[in-house]
Amino acid sequence: MSKLKIAVQKSGRLHDDSMKILQDVGISVDNGKDQLKASAKNFPLEVLYLRNGDIPQYLNDGVVDAAIIGENVLIEKGNGISVIEKLGFSSCKVSVAIPKSTEYKSIKDLEGKRIATSYPNTVNQFLNENRVNANLHIINGSVEIAPNIGLADAIVDIVSSGSTLFKNGLKEVEVLLKSQAVLAVSPLINTENQDILNTLKFRLQSVLRGRQSKYVLLNAPNEKLDAISNMLPGMNSPTILPLAKEGWSSLHSVINKNDFWKVIDELKQNGAEGILVCPIENMVL
């Protein structure tokens, strides 16, 4: 039986988040310490643990069928590789940072400056779009130290919390792009493995919808049902059940987690009581 070969980063936050979402979609991977390859027990899947920067080449060559990879790496190195699902975790930015003491007014201030980065393609495209000429120094790792040792006037690197910039006396002045983990597919994937990937994608979408939603149960007087129902459309419409208490009903629905507190405040203002909110593991449409 054919197995889908999927690459994930071999260590770090993206690795942990990738393995977590595979676990959440019901795939059990028996990966011992320092293994570079492991098979799933209950799904036709083989996981290869690779350096993030090497994954685009493995996809292009067809060594792996798919990958969970940072979108920023694909933009830098993955020309022609398709993204089939954005996964909503391991978010970061690729940004320009300069010493805190340096004055900065606009992108034009980078004209003629030395920029250290491990994202030369991304930076060159950004500079060309803004008609800025600068000198790039390509560095792999520890880019933040470059201004402190006189190697560069600015850097372009990944920014998550910003704590690394702060520790190195730098400030963020431009955002080139925003990135998150994505599911990418090899252009050389065969039909059988594409079918397996489609099944994996369906499971991932169900989990991602669940992560973005909350299940809400509440009690409300019947005269308020129409107003409250309009706030809680759910997937189609709310479920309404009569209560033993005369003139009252129970409503069950789904809301987007980003709208949670706004909706809860409106529900209370319209007479809702006993509001119970639950997480959703999966939402299958």
**DSSP for 210-271?**
HHTEEEEEEEEEGGGHHHHHHH---SSS-EEEE-SSTTEEEEEEEEEGGGHHHHHHHHHHTT
Q: What is the mean pLDDT of residues 153-172?
A: 91
Which helix (H) or strand (E) covers residue 98, if one does?
strand 92-99
Tell the residue number behind the tokens 């010493």, with chain if given.
99
Neighbours of 18 (CB within 10 A): 25
In the chain, ranges of CATH 3.30.70.120 domains: 213-279
What is the overall mean pLDDT for the chain? 92
Q: Is 176 helix (H, G, I), strand (E, B) or coil?
A: strand
Q: Is 101 helix (H, G, I), strand (E, B) or coil?
A: coil
The two tokens of residue 208 are: 């991602």
pLDDT tens readout for residues 186-218: 999 999 999 999 999 999 999 999 999 999 999
CB 189 within 8 A of CB 197: yes
Burial of residue 278 (CB within 10 Å: 0-12, 13-18, 19+) is exposed
**CA dist., res. 14 & res. 1, Å (int):** 29
Residues in a beta bridge with 86: 182
Q: Pick the range with the lowest mean pLDDT from 160-174, 224-238, 266-280.
A: 224-238
Give the predicted TM-score (pTM) of the model: 0.86
The two tokens of residue 101 are: 């003491």
Q: Is the pLDDT of residue 234 over 70?
A: no
Phi, psi of 54 (to 5 degrees): -90, -20
Neighbours of 177 (CB within 10 A): 16
In the chain, ranges of CATH 3.40.190.10 domains: 4-90+180-210, 92-179
Q: Is the pLDDT of residue 233 over 70?
A: no
**CA dist., res. 3 & res. 197, Å (int):** 10
Q: Domain 213-279 is in which class?
A: alpha beta
The two tokens of residue 59 are: 């996809």
**CA dist., res. 107 & res. 130, Å (int):** 8
Q: Of the CATH numbers 3.40.190.10, 1.20.1730.10, 3.40.30.10, 3.65.10.10, which one belongs to the domain with range 4-90+180-210?
A: 3.40.190.10
pLDDT tens readout for residues 12-39: 899 999 999 999 999 999 776 667 899 9
User: How confident is residue 77, by pLDDT bands cut at 50, 70 and 90?
Assistant: very high
- Of 147, 145, 111, 114, nearest to 130 (Cα)? 111
Q: Considering Cα of 118, then 120, then 125, then 130, what sign does the dihedral take? A: positive
Q: Of the CATH numbers 3.10.20.30, 3.40.50.300, 3.30.710.10, 3.40.190.10, which one belongs to the domain with range 92-179?
A: 3.40.190.10
**CA dist., res. 222 & res. 228, Å (int):** 10
Q: Pick the range with the lowest mean pLDDT from 68-77, 78-87, 100-109, 255-264.
A: 255-264
The two tokens of residue 239 are: 């479920």
Q: What is the pLDDT of residue 61?
A: 95
